[in-house]
C-alpha cells in the first residue's frame, strides 16, 4: 500500500477506494491503475496512473497473498478471513506509523507523518530530482491550488528511504 501510494502520489482516500478491477497489467511489467474517485476530479472522469515495476511486483505479491473473495484491492482481513469492504482512511495512517516504527524512526520522527505523507514525500522527491511543479501536479492528479506542491516541499523532512520508498520507485523510473 505504501509503495503504491508513494508511486502514484495518491491520496489516502484514493488508495482505499481502489478495486481489483481498477488495476490491470499493461504488458510491460508495470500496472495501469484507474483512480475512479478524487477530490480534484469534480466530473468523476477518473485518472489513469502507472506503477513502477517494483511496485507492480509488490502489489502482485499482496494480491496473491490476500487471495480472491473481494472486489477491493486493500480490504480488511480478520482472523484470516477477507472482509469484502474497503479499508478506512485511518488505516493508511496507521500503516504508515507502523512502517516508520519498524524502520527504527524515533517517536518525534513518526509524529511528522500523516495520511498524506506518501503524496508529500513523492512530491518532495520529484522536486529534488528537478521535476517542475506542473508535472508533479499532473502526476498526482492535480490540485485546485498551485501552491500545494511547493507547500509540501517546505514541510518537515520525510523519511521515505528508510521505509523502502524512494524517488527511484516513482512510476516510470524503475
Domain boundaries, the chain: 2-169
Joined grid coordinates for residue 24:
490491470
Give CA separation, 148 vs 103, 119, 155, in Å: 28, 11, 11
Report the CATH number of the 2-169 domain.
1.10.443.10
pLDDT tens-digit profile, the chain (174 residues) = 999 999 999 989 899 999 999 999 999 999 999 998 776 666 677 888 999 999 999 999 999 999 988 999 999 999 989 999 999 999 999 999 999 999 999 999 999 888 888 888 888 888 888 888 888 887 777 654 544 555 554 444 444 444 455 444 444 433
Give the torsion sign (CA, 22, 54, 169, 135): negative
What's the pLDDT at 149?
A: 52
Amino acid at each position: 500500500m505504501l509503495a503504491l501510494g508513494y508511486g502514484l502520489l495518491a491520496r489516502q482516500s484514493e488508495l482505499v477506494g481502489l478495486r481489483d478491477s481498477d488495476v490491470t497489467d499493461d504488458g510491460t511489467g508495470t500496472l495501469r491503475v484507474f483512480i475512479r474517485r478524487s477530490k480534484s476530479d469534480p466530473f468523476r472522469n477518473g485518472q489513469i496512473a502507472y506503477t513502477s515495476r517494483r511496485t507492480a511486483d509488490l502489489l502482485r505479491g499482496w494480491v496473491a497473498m490476500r487471495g480472491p473473495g473481494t472486489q477491493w484491492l486493500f480490504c480488511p482481513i480478520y482472523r484470516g478471513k477477507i472482509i469484502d469492504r474497503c479499508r478506512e482512511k485511518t488505516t493508511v495512517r496507521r500503516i504508515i506509523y507502523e512502517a516508520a516504527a519498524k524502520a527504527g524512526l524515533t517517536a518525534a520522527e513518526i509524529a511528522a507523518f500523516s495520511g498524506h505523507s506518501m503524496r508529500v514525500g513523492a512530491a518532495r522527491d520529484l522536486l529534488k530530482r528537478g521535476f517542475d511543479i506542473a508535472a508533479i501536479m499532473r502526476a498526482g492528479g492535480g490540485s485546485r491550488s498551485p501552491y500545494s506542491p511547493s507547500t509540501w516541499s517546505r514541510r518537515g523532512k520525510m523519511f521515505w528511504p528508510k521505509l523502502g520508498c524512494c524517488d527511484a520507485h516513482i512510476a516510470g523510473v524503475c
